[in-house]
Structure 1
Amino acid sequence: MTKTADQPATTERLKADRDRFVALAFCWADTLVELDPDNTITFAAGLTIPATGLPPDRLIGRHIDALLVPAHRGLIRRLISGAGSCGRIDNISVDFIGPGGAGAPVQLAAHKLPELGDQSFLAMRLGGNQNAVTDRSGRTLHDGLLDADGFTRLAKSRLAAPDGRRLQRLTLLSVPELTQMKEKLDDATYRNLLNAIGGYLKANSADRDSAARLSDSGFGLIHDSDLEIENLEDHLLAIVNGLDPTGVGASIESASLVANTELTEETLSQVMVYAIKQFSDSNRTGFTLQKLRENLPSVAEDAAEMADTFRRLISTKEFYIAFQPMVSTQSGQIHCYEALARISGRDAVSPYKYVCFAEETGQISDFDLAMAEKAARWLQNRTDPRTRVSVNISGQSTTSPDFTADLHKLLDRHPASRERLQFEITDSSAIDDLEAANRFVQSLRKRGHAVGLDDFGSGANGFHLLSTIEVDFVKVDGATIRHAQQAIQGRAFLAALGTFCRMLDIDVVASAIETDQMLAFVTECGVGFVQGYLFGKPSRELRRFEELRIEIPKRRIVA
Structure 2
Amino acid sequence: MDDNRSIDLHRFAGLYQSLAGAVMELAPDDRVIYASGNLDRLLGCGSGGLMGQCFTAYIHSKDFAIWRLVRHKLMKSGHVGPVPLRMLRADGVPGAIELHAVRTPGAEPGTIQLSISPYWGQLSIGENKRAPSSSPRQFDKQHFAKLAQRLTEYAAGTDHSVPEALMKLAGLDEQAGQGKAEVSLWALHRLLGDAAAEGAAADLSETKREAHRPEGVACPDERQQVSNAMRGAFKQGRDEANYVTVAGEDGISESDAVKAAVYAMKRAASKENAKTIQALTGGYERRLEKVKAQLKAFKQIVLQERFDVALQPIVDIHDGTLHHFEALARFDQNIFAGSPFEFMCFAEDIGVIHEFDLAMTMKVVSLIKRMRRIGYNVAAAVNISGHSIQSQGFLRHFFNILEDCGDIRENLMFELTESSQIDDLETTNRILRRIRDFGHKVSLDDFGAGAAGLQYLRVLKVDCVKIDGIYIRKGLEDAENRSFLRSMADLCKGLGIETVGECVENEEQRRFLEEIGVNYAQGWLYGKPMPPDEALQFLQG
- 1:331 maps to which of 302, 306, 319: 319
Q: Does 1:438 align with 2:429?
A: yes
Q: Secondary structure of 1:331's match?
A: coil
Please give the per-residue CA displacement for 1:47-86, whole angstroms capped at 9, x wherever unaligned. xxxxxxxxxxxxxxxxxxxxxxxxxxxxxxxxxxxxxxxx
Deviations 1:437-467 (A, max 9, x none): 1111111111110001111101121111111
Are 2:171 and 1:226 equivalent residues in the alignment? yes
1:314 pairs with 2:302: yes
Give distance in 2, aligned partners of 1:275 and 1:454.
Answer: 29
Equivalenced residue count is 324
Provide the residue aligned with 2:525 in structure 1.
534
Whether the aligned pair in 2 keeps the contact of 1:339 and 1:391 (CA below 8 Å) is: yes
Task: Point out the more displaced range, 437-446 or 509-518.
Answer: 509-518
TM-score, scaled to structure 2: 0.53
- The question of 1:495 aligning with 2:436 is answered no
| Kept in 2: contact 1:341–1:350 (CA 8 A) | no
Distance, in Å, in 1 between the alignment partners of 2:511 and 2:224 is: 53
For 2:406 and 2:515, locate their aligned partners in 1 and report how far apart those are by CA, in whole Å.
38
Distance 1:385 1:481, change over 3 A: same
Cα deviation for residue 272 of structure 1 reads: 2.7
Secondary structure at the residue paired with 1:377? Answer: helix
Query: Does 2:341 align with 1:374?
Result: no
Q: Matches of 2:142 and 2:381 in 1, distance apart?
A: 48
| Structure 1 residue 264 corresponds to structure 2 residue 232 | yes
Distance 1:393 1:257 in 2: 41
Map 1:144-183 → 2, pairs under 5 A: 161-162=139-140, 166=144
> Unpaired runs of 5+ in structure 2?
1-136, 175-222, 234-253
- Tell me by how many angstroms 1:165 deviates: 7.8
Whole-Å separation in 2 of the counterparts to 1:428 and 1:476: 14
Aligned letter for 2:359?
Answer: A
Conserved 8 A contact 2:154-2:266? no
Cα deviation per residue 1:357-388 (whole Å; 9 max; x = unaligned)? Answer: 22112111111111110000111112257421
Deviation at 1:486, TM superposition (A): 3.0
- Label 1:429 to 1:311 Cα distance change in 2 as closer, same or farther (>3 A): closer
Distance (whole Å) between structure 2 residues aligned to residue 312 and residue 509 of structure 1:
34
Distance 1:257 1:272 in 2: 16
Among 274, 297, 300, the alignment partner of 2:285 is 297
Q: What is the letter of the counterpart of residue 511 of structure 2?
A: A
AA aligned to 2:525 is L
Higher relative contact order (CA 8 A, sep 6+): 2
Write the letter of the residue equivalent to 1:485: L
Instruction: Give matches, 1:82-101, under 5 Å.
Output: none
**Maintained 8 Å contact 2:410/2:439:** yes
Task: Say which SS state the counterpart of residue 523 (structure 1) adopts.
Answer: helix
More displaced, 342-351 or 266-275? 342-351
From 350, 354, 358, the equivalent of 1:361 is: 350
Identity of aligned residues (%): 32
- Tell me which structure has the larger Cα radius of gyration: 1
Q: What is residue 440 of structure 2 aligned with on the other side?
A: 449
Cα distance, 1:336–1:164 mapped onto 2, change above 3 Å: closer
Question: Offset of 1:318 from its aligned partner?
Answer: 1.7
Q: 1:353 to 1:428 in 2, by over 3 A?
A: closer
Q: CA RMSD in A?
A: 3.6
1:128 equivalent in structure 2: none
TM-score, with structure 1 as normaliser: 0.51
Instruction: Find the residue that maps to 2:310 and give its secondary structure.
Output: strand
Q: Residue 13 of structure 1 aligns with which residue? A: none
User: What per-residue deviation string (whole Å, max 9, x for no partner) do you get for residues 400-433 of structure 1?
Assistant: 2332221121122233321100000013643111
Where structure 1 has 5 or more consecutive residues not aligned to the other structure, the ranges are: 1-158, 171-205, 230-255, 550-559
Residue 420 (structure 1) aligned with residue 438 (structure 2): no
Query: In the TM superposition, what is the alpha-carbon distance from 1:258 to its structure 2 partner?
Result: 7.2
Q: Residue 165 and residue 359 in structure 1: after superposition, are their counterparts in 2 closer, same or farther (change >3 A)?
A: closer
1:274 CA drift (Å): 1.8
SS in 1 for 2:504: coil
CA distance in 1, matches of 2:526, 2:291: 36
Letter of the structure 1 residue corresponding to residue 161 of structure 2: G
1:317-338: CA deviation from partner (whole Å, max 9, x where unpaired): 2211011111211221121111
Where does 1:205-244 land on structure 2 (aligned, <5 Å)? 211=152, 214=155, 218-223=159-164, 224=167, 225-226=170-171
Q: State the Cα distance separating 1:538 from its structure 2 match.
A: 1.2
Separation of aligned partners in 2, 1:524 and 1:228: 69
